[in-house]
Amino acid sequence: MKGNDGIVVTLEAGVKRITFNKPERRNAMDFEMFAAFAEAVRESATDASRVVVITGAGEAFCSGLDMAATDARTLASLDIAAKVRELINPPVMRMRATGKPFVARVHGPAAGIGFSYVLACDVRVASTEATFSQSFVRVGLMPDGGSTHFLPALVGQAKAFELMTTGATLSADEAFRLGVVNRVVQRDELDAAVEEIAARLARAPQPALARIKAALSRSENESLAAALDFEAEAQAQCFASADFREGAAAFAGKRAPEFGRKNG
In the chain, what are the domains? 7-188+205-253 (3.90.226.10)
* Measured distance CA(147)–CA(170) in Å, rounded: 15
Q: Is the pLDDT of residue 263 over 60?
A: no
Q: What is the mean pLDDT of residues 146-158?
A: 97
Q: Is the pLDDT of residue 105 over 80?
A: yes
Question: At residue 46, does pLDDT exceed 90?
Answer: yes
Do the beta carbons of residue 101 and residue 83 sit within 8 Å?
Answer: no
At 264 the pLDDT is: 44
Rounded distance between C-alpha atoms, residue 238 and residue 245, angstroms: 10
User: What would the pLDDT profile of 225-251 be if each residue is shown by its tens digit?
Assistant: 999 999 999 999 999 999 998 999 999
Q: How far apart are the C-alpha atoms of 107 and 110, rounded to whole Å? A: 9
The whole-number pLDDT of residue 1 equals: 60
d(CA 87, CA 110): 19
Question: If pLDDT is split at 50, 70 and 90, which confidence band does 50 have?
Answer: very high
- Alpha-carbon Rg for the chain, nearest whole angstrom, is 18
Model's pTM, two decimal places?
0.95
Q: What is the pLDDT of residues 197-212, one digit of tens each?
A: 999 999 999 999 999 9
User: Is residue 45 within 8 Å of 94, Cβ to Cβ?
Assistant: yes
| HSE-up (13 A, CA, CB side) for residue 98 | 25
